Amino acid sequence: MGPLLPLSHTTPDGAKSYESEIPQFGLGVFLANGPDCKQAVLWALDAGYRHIDTARAYDNERQVGEAILESGIDRSEIFVTSKLRRFHAVGHEETIHRCKESLENLGLEYLDLFLVHAPPKDPYHRKPTWQGMEECLETGLVRAIGVSNYGAHHLDHMRSYARYLPSVNQFEVHPWLQRPGLRAATEAIGAIPEAYSPLARGKKLDDPVLSSIAKKIGASPAQVAIKWCLEQGCITIPKSTNKNRIEENLAALNLDISPVMAEISSLEDNFVSGWDPTAEP
Ligand code: A2P
């Protein structure tokens, strides 16, 4: 399962509140459709994963919930994240309602982490949406709240209205898009950066430079990319629906990449594999 990182929410007076722990490594299920998703989660839990990252927008919360139930593993041992869909992020009550819908889809009584999937399109919706997230936290629907795809300016603005700052900011991070500025801005509000698409959606895994780095340390290219993200302090959630690759990715935790760290850092290419709302106004 890998290390646990401390999660908390910084309040305006600088205190930490609603503290918990998150496994630094987990399984992402973006683009994992229904039956594939359920099977992937079952394989992952069997292999030792204890952290699953889904979202309402992925349309597979139900399958994640079924797999958790079928695994027979105690709910309290599995860390489950879901996300408030961007076009549902329009206000306080709507946020609470959508959180309850995600819980119903998953068949769970609480989420370990609930994220605003992207900065609400209409800037006037950001404050009331976050207030709805805070109410989800205070009422125990969720154990931690955070954001996803927020840029440094979105995070800074939150200081003006948040009673609890986010515990996490999840955005695309990998050796070809390293984002030291956004990672630092995330840490500056007391949040942990969380790397989605740590494999750049598989689009860079045949990079010859990466292949030669991986060969030097007897690892696979995917393992090198995953371990690099972990070494930066990021929570890291590679997606796979293939049993062997699910196990291969978990094994990255045991890799020593210190001899090739500088070479990996030189892969920076400003390469966005998906979308990037962090630069939106
Ligand atoms: P698959 O699900 O068939 O394994 P990311 O997490 O960056 O979004 O990347 C996900 C993509 O990378 C998926 O296409 C996934 O395919 C592929 N992938 C996941 N793990 C590995 C691996 N160990 N080796 C090669 N490709 C992988």
Hey, what are 224's tokens?
Answer: 């090198």
CA–centroid distance, residue 189 to ligand 1 (Å): 31
Looking at residue 31, its pLDDT comes to: 87
The mean of the pLDDT values for the chain is 97
Residue 1 has pLDDT above 90, yes or no: no
pTM above 0.95, yes or no: yes
Q: What does the DSSP 8-state code read for residue 191? A: P
Percentage of residues in the chain with pLDDT exceeding 90? Answer: 98
- Cβ-Cβ contacts under 8 Å for 59 (sequence gap 6 or more): 33, 34
Distances (CA, A) of 136 to 10, 92, 98, 144, 263: 16, 10, 10, 9, 43
Ligand 1 pocket, mutate which of 201, 205, 245, 253 (most atoms under 8 A from CB) = 245
Q: How confident is the model at residue 113 (pLDDT cuts 50, 70, 90)?
A: very high
Residue 263: inside a domain, yes or no? Answer: no
Please give the biggest Cα pair distance in the chain: 54
Residue 170: inside a domain, yes or no? Answer: yes
CA–centroid distance, residue 239 to ligand 1 (Å): 6
Q: How confident is the model at residue 193 (pLDDT cuts 50, 70, 90)?
A: very high
Residue 66: inside a domain, yes or no? Answer: yes
Hey, what are 142's tokens?
Answer: 């969720």
Looking at residue 172, its pLDDT comes to: 98
Residue 112: inside a domain, yes or no? Answer: yes
Total tally of structural domains belonging to the chain: 1
Residue 207: inside a domain, yes or no? Answer: no
* Structural domain boundaries, residue 55: 4-202+234-240
Of 18, 49, 58, 150, which residue is the catalytic one? Answer: 58
155-184 b/e with 16+ CB inside 10 Å = b? bebbeeebebbbbbbbbbbbbbbbbeebbe
The CATH number given to whatever domain includes residue 79 is 3.20.20.100
Looking at residue 198, its pLDDT comes to: 98
Residue 64: inside a domain, yes or no? Answer: yes
58: annotated active-site residue: yes
Ligand 1 pocket, mutate which of 199, 203, 229 (most atoms under 8 A from CB) = 199
Distances (CA, A) of 7 to 22, 150, 155: 7, 18, 17
Residue 268: inside a domain, yes or no? Answer: no
For ligand 1, atom 2, which residue shows the shortest CA distance? 240
Ligand 1-lining residues (CB < 6 angstroms):
28, 197-202, 205, 220, 222, 238-242, 245, 248-249
Residue 136 has pLDDT above 90, yes or no: yes
Hey, what are 86's tokens?
Answer: 């961007």
Residue type, 203: K
Q: How confident is the model at residue 32 (pLDDT cuts 50, 70, 90)?
A: confident
Residue 267: inside a domain, yes or no? Answer: no
- Cβ-Cβ contacts under 8 Å for 14 (sequence gap 6 or more): none
* Span 72-108, pLDDT tens digits: 999 999 999 999 999 999 999 999 999 999 999 999 9
240-266 b/e with 16+ CB inside 10 Å = b? bbeeebbbbbbebbebebeebeebbee
Hey, what are 239's tokens?
Answer: 């997606």
Q: In ligand 1, which atom is closest to the CA atom of 221?
A: 24
Q: In ligand 1, which atom is closest to the CA atom of 245?
A: 23
